[in-house]
Amino acid sequence: MRFSRDVLRIDAEGEANRICDFIKDQVLQRYKRKGVVIGISGGIDSALLSVLCARTLEPERILGLILPEKESSPVSEPYAREQANALGIQVERVDLTPILSQLGVYEKKEEVIKRLCADYDPDQDKTKIALPWNLLERPSLSIFSLIVQKPDGSKRLFRLGADDFRAILAAQNMKQRSRMIQLYYHAERLHYVVGGTTNRTELEQGFFVKHGDAGVDIEPIAHLYKVQIFQLARCLGVVERILNRKPSPDTWSAEVSDEEFYFRMPFETLDLLLYAWNKGVETSEICQVLGLQPVQVERAFQDFESKRKATWDLRVMAPSLCA
């Protein structure tokens, strides 16, 4: 197919049927399980998977697990419940805050933040980390910064060194891994599979946690770019508030979108560039279709390559000497 702004458009009904056939085959035939457990976050990916599973299986065969913690967005749970109620699927809620507190997640993160921001108050201030925005507009290094938001709305920005970044991320990643433990507890209790919600944009660029949100049995939407997730979700009736919500990791006390946190450009541009990079589309053709300069395309491709190389280990099985 010739590269164009429409190259990622899909036949929504045909694609939904294909995914539903995959879910049915995997759950009932390959795994021979009774149903699916989904971590429903109030975000677009888990909402779409819930809808697809509800088209495939009876509602009583689907469990939506809501897994909040004290730094979750206040809208996540009501949005998740609204989608679950619209589908008539079962819902259970597990507050992860006590578990994460016992693991020292908040304490470990706060130790690093306090070294950087002397007046940081964990009871009042909100925090997030992010990469420099507007990758296409200006060159910048892929170095994360810590942002501390004060109650008066002011923000403090601190560039993170490698050691501090790894320390914060290691603590934060325990949130996704704690979610995975809860999903598998309920899946094994009910004789269900765990349904994954990673999409292709996240998979290819390493935006997921090993043995966390990647710890699942099936990945029904991992072949879809993020813009295709939105296309399918709109056509299949995902609730409006979720469709209008900016995708977010929802693990930071301050609001941060996936684009701000990691991808560095809007999904509408990102996915077309990622597709072109994967398919080897000529730079001149990309520039003509997207209205970009060659230097901007080169900058994006360098970022894609850097992320793919840095996260290669997330996409492979553990090495062994097995024949």
Q: What are the tens digits of pLDDT across the range 254-276?
A: 999 999 999 999 999 999 999 99
Residue 266: predicted pLDDT: 96
pLDDT digits (tens, 9 = 90+) for 205-224: 999 999 999 999 999 999 99
| DSSP H/E element including 38 | strand 35-39
Structure tokens that stand for 264 in this block: 């560095």
pLDDT beyond 90 at 1: no
Query: Residues 9-48: pLDDT tens digits?
Result: 999 999 999 999 999 999 999 999 999 999 999 999 999 9
Residues 6+ apart with CB under 8 A from 38: 46, 49, 50, 53, 62, 63, 64, 65, 194, 195, 197
> Is 320 buried (19+), middle (13-18) or exposed (0-12) by CB count in 10 A?
exposed
Topology of the domain comprising 12-101+168-312: Rossmann fold (3.40.50)
Length of the chain: 323
| pLDDT > 90: percent of the chain | 97
Domain map (residue ranges) of the chain: 12-101+168-312, 102-167
The average pLDDT across 234-261 equals 96
* Placement of tokens 């004060």 in the chain: 150
- pTM, rounded to two decimals: 0.95
Give the pLDDT band of residue 133 (cuts 50, 70, 90). confident
pLDDT for res 300? 96
| Digit-coded pLDDT (tens) for 284-323 | 999 999 999 999 999 999 999 999 999 999 999 999 999 7
